[in-house]
Amino acid sequence: MSNWRSTRDQLREFALGLPEAHEDFPWGETVVKVNKKVFVFLGLDGEPTEKWTPNFTVKLRDSHGHALSAPGAAPSGYGLGKAGWVTVPFTDDMPEIDVLRDWVEESYRIVAPKRLVAELDGNAVAFSAGSVRQAPSRRS
């Protein structure tokens, strides 16, 4: 857990790079939303204590079981776990950052409007004032 802030910052930066994503701070937590819906909880920004371990939370379908196999991961509280939300603590033996980014992107795809998911895929046709344009691709 020694570099948990770096991992958290990388996930935050990745999440904010997704189409129309924005940061918010409800309940004193850092979250990233799309279309007013949270797709990743990044937790508090304080120091770890005996009662609190830094973590992040995402909504998953395809990767749900994989995420739950991460050390310390569990279905999220407050009934969110029943809807597919998984809370993963930042630990030294957590999955690689690319896997964590995949989970953030999967959560985004579940929560975001279809037009933004299509934009993410680089094949969106956006309709604006009667005109049609190709959305730029985020992937290389």
- What residues does each domain of the chain span? 4-134
pLDDT at 61: 93
The band of 128, judged by pLDDT with boundaries at 50, 70 and 90, is: very low
pLDDT at 123: 58
pLDDT at 2: 58
What H or E segment, with its residue span, contains residue 128?
Answer: strand 125-128
Residue 132 pairs in a beta bridge with 127
Can you read off the two tokens belonging to residue 9?
Answer: 């910052």
Is residue 90 packed enough to be buried (19+ CB in 10 Å), middle (13-18) or exposed (0-12)? buried
pLDDT at 77: 82
Q: Which of 20-24, 117-121, 126-130 has the lowest mean pLDDT?
A: 126-130
pLDDT single digits (tens) 10-55: 999 999 999 999 999 998 889 999 999 999 999 877 776 677 789 9
Contacts with 22 (C-beta within 8 Å, 6 or more apart), sequence order = 16, 32, 33, 34
Q: Which ranges of the chain does DSSP label H, i.e. alpha helix?
A: 4-16, 64-68, 97-111, 114-120
For the domain made up of 4-134, the CATH class stated in words is alpha beta
- Alpha carbon of 7 to those of 55, 99, 128: distances in Å? 10, 12, 37
